[in-house]
Amino acid sequence: MIWYKLENFAMASLPKFVASLSDMKEWRSPKDDVDKLRRSFILAAGAMAAGLSDAGAATAQAARKRDIGTSGIDRSCRVSSQRLDTLVAKAYPLFNKPVILPAFDAKTDGARFDVDLHRIVTHTVVPETGEKLKISGLLALPVGIKRELPLLSWQHGTILSFDQVPSNLTLLADPAYELTDAADSLETLFNVQRFAGQGYAVIAADYVGKGPFRGDRGEGYAVKDVSVRTCVDVLAAGQAAMRSLGLRPSKLFLHGWSQGALNTQWLHQALRAKSRPLTGTAVASPFNDLNEAWSFWAGVRTFTLPTGVTSYPARPNWISLCMIVALGSYELQYGLNGLMRSAIRPEYHDFALKFWKDYKLDFDQSKPFPTGTDLLIPGFFDSFTDVRNSAFLRHFAANRASYWNYDSPIRFHYGLADEAIHPAMVSRALSAGGKLATGVPVAGGSHRGTFLAGLYGDASTLGGSENVLNWFRSIH
């Protein structure tokens, strides 16, 4: 599910991990006059060529407000295909652990188009609470394609920070900006390079509780209705922005990883319920049954080894952080006041409540760090422990995505060495999904490696299947 950027996190690396989170960059909105003027020129012209205007700051601000009102776009930049390839080549080894793929090769997998990145702004209404919230997302468009192009809706994985969102990629407006694993959405970078760089439009939501407009509100981690509503509203805003630029989508594709894979399955269901045509959907490392996933993370549920595998990686220590965020999200969204205290062992209350508030690990390292196996109170899964705990488990069950009949093609990529998502956790969706649901095993795939292989792998890694881009092309 995760997922922050913690696949190799261990207790021995806590000091470095704490420092990286504590030094996380704050969201940076362009505030200087030069950048305002550049944005005003770019958006008024409907193009992304770099340039400066001599108009005053007030004129630039007024132009920006007009553009937001008509297109939803409030900041933009252009990234060359060469720069995209360079960024991917740098990030690639961070996901290719253990190594299951050849090194990135721009000659075979390089972007064909420069890409325009737009931050889009819209509003959503949270179904569980009725709040109206300002939200953001990313629209990535290949340069030079006119009128019609295929559209990908990308749903990112878990981030244990507030700013590692897709729209953060617009910081690449600064030629000197360096993307990092701790501050940016590298998984979104891969999707932009792989799809927008090959002629697709890409739209990606910054989830509620994330990004530049979150304020102090918590997120809706693994909460179905708010996740779906956010993705639907950002998808609509992105399509409206495309129309304002003279473009229109042809066929619609969905893609998601980890938490984003669950969101993608929910989004697939919601769009089909409205008879929205979907050409293809791909998910990587999906956790479909939340109760089952939590039982696995807490060490209560075990599975047999996948066929042909002699050992399986241990559950990562950082899984407890995601469990804390899930508890905080369900307490907030469903009004289960006190859930975190009722579900978590007393010795971890202070740590969990603080982490949910600020996502920082600046705690007393002489004290024990909670793991998935000892975070929850005894008997959490076995008997009645608290009315809030029982309600939490019922909400979890209601939000599962395991038993859906898919009436358009969907592929489930699962790693045979995924430390967070055991292959058996995918089988529920495959067995119930119908003839259009297909499983794609990733040999040796870790949590990150499974995602990367789905984008850049070939039949030798993907159990005889082609990667997502080539599959989408074949059904386009």
The pLDDT tens digits along the chain (476 residues) read: 444 444 444 434 444 443 334 333 333 433 333 333 333 333 333 333 333 333 444 444 444 444 455 579 999 999 999 999 999 999 999 999 999 999 999 999 999 999 999 999 999 999 999 999 999 999 999 999 988 999 999 999 999 999 999 999 999 999 999 999 999 999 999 999 999 999 999 999 999 999 999 999 999 999 999 999 999 999 999 999 999 999 999 999 999 999 999 999 999 999 999 999 999 999 999 999 999 999 999 999 999 999 888 899 999 888 999 999 999 999 999 999 999 999 999 999 999 999 999 999 887 778 889 999 999 999 999 999 999 999 999 999 999 999 999 999 999 999 999 999 999 999 999 999 999 999 999 999 999 999 999 999 999 999 999 999 999 999 97
The residue length of the chain stands at: 476
Distance in angstroms (rounded) separating the CA atoms of residues 350 and 358: 12
Residue 70 is predicted with a pLDDT of 57
Q: Which residues contact 31 (CB under 8 A, 6 or more apart)?
A: none
Q: Which of 252, 283, 291 is nearest to 266 (CA)?
A: 283
Range 305-313, long-range pairs (CB < 8 A, 24+ positions): 306/416, 306/423, 306/424, 306/441, 308/416, 309/416, 309/417, 312/417, 312/422, 313/417, 313/418, 313/419, 313/446
Q: Which residues contact 183 (CB under 8 A, 6 or more apart)?
A: 24, 25, 161, 163, 164, 168
Provide the β-strand partners of residue 411.
282, 438
Angle of helix 33-45 relative to helix 57-71, nearest 10 degrees, comes to 40
Residue 474 is predicted with a pLDDT of 96
Distance in angstroms (rounded) separating the CA atoms of residues 234 and 287: 23
**Per residue, what are the HEC states of 249-301?**
EEEEEEEEECHHHHHHHHHHHHHHHCCCCCCEEEEECCCCCHHHHHHHHCCCC
**Contact by Cβ (8 Å): 258, 360:** no
Residue 366 is predicted with a pLDDT of 80
Q: Quick one: how far is CA 19 from the chain centroid?
A: 23
Q: Which of 440, 400, 165, 143 is nearest to 285 (CA)?
A: 440
Radius of gyration of the chain (CA): 22
Residue 68 is predicted with a pLDDT of 56
- Main-chain dihedrals φ then ψ at residue 285, nearest 5 degrees: 50, 55
Give the Å distances, CA to CA, from 173 to 204, 427, 453: 18, 43, 29
Range 239-242, long-range pairs (CB < 8 A, 24+ positions): 239/151, 239/203, 240/71, 240/72, 241/71, 241/72, 241/73, 241/118, 241/120, 241/139, 242/139, 242/141, 242/151, 242/201
Distance in angstroms (rounded) separating the CA atoms of residues 59 and 38: 12
Residue 69 is predicted with a pLDDT of 55
Q: Return the number of other C-beta atoms located less than 10 Å from residue 46's C-beta.
A: 11
Q: Return the number of other C-beta atoms located less than 10 Å from residue 219's C-beta.
A: 25
Residue 125 is predicted with a pLDDT of 96
Distance in angstroms (rounded) separating the CA atoms of residues 46 and 72: 13
Distance in angstroms (rounded) separating the CA atoms of residues 213 and 206: 10
**Contact by Cβ (8 Å): 425, 304:** no
Distance in angstroms (rounded) separating the CA atoms of residues 255 and 268: 10
To the nearest 10°, the Cα dihedral for 307, 309, 315, 318? -110
Amino acid, single-letter form, for residue 206: D
Residue labelled with tokens 């608290």? 386
Residues of 254-270 as b/e, b for ≥16 C-beta within 10 angstroms? bbbbbbbbbbbbbbbeb
**Tell me, what DSSP letter sits at residue 160?**
S
